[in-house]
Chains A and B, each alone.
Chain A
Amino acid sequence: MITFTLSRTAGDPVAIYTDPQMSAEQIEKIRDMYHFNDPIYVQYFYYLQGIFRGDLGYSVIMGIPVSEVIIRLFPATIELAMYSWSLAFVVGVILGTKSAVGKDKVIDHSSRVIAITGYSMPTFWLGLVLLFIFYFWFGILGPGRLDNLIYHTHFPPLGSFRTYTGLYTIDAILNLDWIVFFDAVKHLILPVVILAWGNLAIITRIMRSSMLEVLGKEFIKTAKAKGLSDKSVINEHARKNALIPTITAAGLSFAFLLSGVVMIEEIFNWPGLGSWAARSAISLDHAGILGFVLLVGAIYSFSNLVVDVLYVYLDPRIRLN
């Protein structure tokens, strides 16, 4: 609904599909094709219908339909998002647990500082700075997904690299092509780390507070009284229970991830959905922008749904109720 309202606010919707030199007839034809002449509620109906059929309009800057853009650019962004999210989650859980266990000690304060700095840092700035340090000074870890040379020698038509998923790391393993694999990893390191750092904050904080809460509970004392070592108590009993709110937080951090992706992709010339969205926004490619916003909304709602379901599933109290 939001995307529809937005699309109708910006002046004459036909403008982007037409050229001043087109004849009046052709303009009228386009108006009809897109139902711009019909009353507003009819337009909304066609809009919804279009979405369900997979028709999101035409992206002017790319020259192909929006849905096709999404399908094509999806793997690149997924690769980035997947690794960042996992990194953020793993490091967040570890840091969170350690901070809770060593409350108010060095580890607690330093992890808090790490988290807050990651959260306060403009991702695009950090990206630029790190690109400068690693690319200009040290000459490694450049922008893009692969080095040009490697790309042209390994991929068709010169090489015999077969693309299965579109994610270079996985495809490289499937192809047993280690050169491509290492190159892809090299190019992934910087963007993934930067993106993950921003997400760390929330995951660490929630993990820490939920660990603290769990550690104060009765059953922990029972376990310790039973004679279980501290380490196993923490790892087995406490952590599993503390993970539950953290998963919810991880789902929320998805939003941060999605916005971060746009910035990172812009800086690193990563050919994914994020940089496409940025370019659509600047060039006022309405269909593109709306398609992206719609996609993001869908992804985010879906991930929230998944998190909610997981929560119910994992928390035995709710399940058995």
Chain B
Amino acid sequence: MTPRLKELKFTFYRIKQSPLAVLGVIIITAFIVIAIFAPYLAPPNEPDPYLLPKTWITEPQPPDAQYPMGTGVYGTDIYYGVIWGTRISLRIAFTVVAFSALIGVFLGSIAGYFGGKIDYIVMRLTDMFLAIPSLLLAMGITSFLGRNLINMINALIIVWWPRYARYSRSEVLSVKEEGYIQSAKAVGCTNWQILFRHVLPNSIYPILIVTTMDLGMVVLVAAGLSFLGLGAEQFTAEWGNMISMGRDWVIWGKWWASFFPGLAIFLFVLGWNLLGDAFRDILDPRLRRA
């Protein structure tokens, strides 16, 4: 069995051992299943399934037989929103993380590996972006781009890639000096070959940890943006959006409109954070079997 496959199997073993990690996996799987089976769990609303179905009743109604989680403003079905919101959240999470990781890791590893002017430019660029906390920067960018789901995703990608650039750059810098890189050079591998076949796979572990947790954190920030009014459009089945719609009624005692979407966000983020945190312990090479 190749060494890499063995490592992978060992990683799974360690995951099964940690109760928190197992909990995280269960939560995430539950969300993915809900997302896949959304049309069966909550009949899609024509013409756009992501728009919440409305009636003309303004006040939120408490949960009952027809509306398992109650209704929000204008009779929006909360249960429907939570189910279909799963799809949107997963989509946001994976899109943002995938693109920002691709851009970030690529730029970061070139900067770390080749050094010199490229390094300098990339570092200055990341410095600029990292000087401002992600939520606030995303707030700034979205307000300029326009209130739109796609704009929010783009803004989040812009905000997120510098972190990956930083991580991969420092990883590459430390891997660069290892012995096997020198041997590869001696054998005659081109720089790009070395980068992709040797440097990257060995520097990927910490990035994996961050990626897992980011899948949750991105949704958290996205929900926050939607809550403030900077993300999804009105009546879209996005959790943050739904919380904001139900917000004014909470102090009048109608808690369900904001509670259930928020609970969904919490569990979603919790799942990924648990997994990521467990990864941190599992993938740490110093803590693996002696």
Which of B229, B247, B252, B266 sits near A120, CB closer than 8 Å? Answer: B266
What mask results when residues 89 to 109 of chain B are scored 1 for a CB within 8 Å of chain A, else 0? Answer: 000000000000000000000
The verdict on B290 contacting chain A, using a C-beta distance below 8 Å, is no
- Are A124 and B220 within 8 A (Cβ)? no
CB closest chain-A residue, reference B19? A109
Q: Which of A52-60, A146-154, A253-261 has 4 or more CB atoms under 8 Å from chain B?
A: A253-261
Query: Which chain B residues border A280 with CB–CB below 8 Å?
Result: 143
Query: Which chain B residues border A131 with CB–CB below 8 Å?
Result: 250-251
| Complex CA–CA separation, A3 to B136 (angstroms) | 12
- Are A284 and B133 within 8 A (Cβ)? no
Q: Which range holds the interface residue count of chain A?
A: 35 or more
- Are A10 and B129 within 8 A (Cβ)? no
Query: Which chain A residues border B240 with CB–CB below 8 Å?
Result: 122
Q: Which of A20-28, A82-90, A286-294, A311-319 has 4 or more CB atoms under 8 Å from chain B?
A: A286-294
Which of B133, B223, B258 sits near A128, CB closer than 8 Å? Answer: B258
Majority secondary structure, A binding face: helix
| Complex CA–CA separation, A212 to B223 (angstroms) | 36
- Are B140 and A128 within 8 A (Cβ)? no
- Are A120 and B132 within 8 A (Cβ)? no
- Are A120 and B136 within 8 A (Cβ)? no
The verdict on A2 contacting chain B, using a C-beta distance below 8 Å, is yes
- Are B266 and A2 within 8 A (Cβ)? no
Q: Which of B112-120, B188-196, B269-277 has 4 or more CB atoms under 8 Å from chain A?
A: B269-277
- Are B136 and A125 within 8 A (Cβ)? no
The verdict on B128 contacting chain A, using a C-beta distance below 8 Å, is yes
8 Å CB contacts to B: which residues of A249-289? 255-256, 258-259, 262-263, 266-267, 277-278, 280-282, 284, 286, 289
With known contacts A122-B265, A125-B243, A259-B134, A132–B255 Cβ distance under 8 A: yes
- Are B139 and A262 within 8 A (Cβ)? yes
Tell me the minimal C-beta distance from B213 to chain A in angstroms. 9
Query: Which chain B residues border A123 with CB–CB below 8 Å?
Result: 224
- Are B270 and A116 within 8 A (Cβ)? yes
Q: Which range holds the interface residue count of chain B?
A: 35 or more
- Are A122 and B140 within 8 A (Cβ)? no
Query: Which chain A residues border B250 with CB–CB below 8 Å?
Result: 128, 131-132, 136
Query: Which chain B residues border A125 with CB–CB below 8 Å?
Result: 243, 258-259, 261-263, 265-266
| Complex CA–CA separation, A131 to B262 (angstroms) | 14
Query: Which chain B residues border A113 with CB–CB below 8 Å?
Result: 20
The verdict on A297 contacting chain B, using a C-beta distance below 8 Å, is yes
CB closest chain-A residue, reference B139? A281
The verdict on A228 contacting chain B, using a C-beta distance below 8 Å, is no
Which of B142, B143, B262 sits near A129, CB closer than 8 Å? Answer: B262
Query: Which chain A residues border B251 with CB–CB below 8 Å?
Result: 131-132, 135-136, 143
Query: Which chain A residues border B243 with CB–CB below 8 Å?
Result: 122, 124-125, 128
Tell me the minimal C-beta distance from B163 to chain A in angstroms. 12
| Complex CA–CA separation, A185 to B123 (angstroms) | 44
The verdict on A321 contacting chain B, using a C-beta distance below 8 Å, is no
With known contacts A136-B250, A281-B143, A259–B230 Cβ distance under 8 A: no
The verdict on A119 contacting chain B, using a C-beta distance below 8 Å, is yes
Which of B140, B141, B224, B269 sits near A263, CB closer than 8 Å? Answer: B224
- Are B259 and A277 within 8 A (Cβ)? no
With known contacts A278-B228, A281-B139, A129–B255 Cβ distance under 8 A: yes
Q: Which A residues are closer than 8 A to B by beta carbons?
A: 1-3, 6-7, 9-10, 112-113, 116-117, 119-126, 128-129, 131-132, 135-136, 143, 255-256, 258-259, 262-263, 266-267, 277-278, 280-282, 284, 286, 289-290, 292-293, 296-297, 300-301
6 other contacts beyond A2-B137, A277-B136, with CB at 8 A cut-off? A1-B128, A116-B270, A120-B273, A128-B259, A282-B143, A296-B132
The 3 closest A-B pairs by CB, nearest first: A125-B262, A259-B135, A255-B133
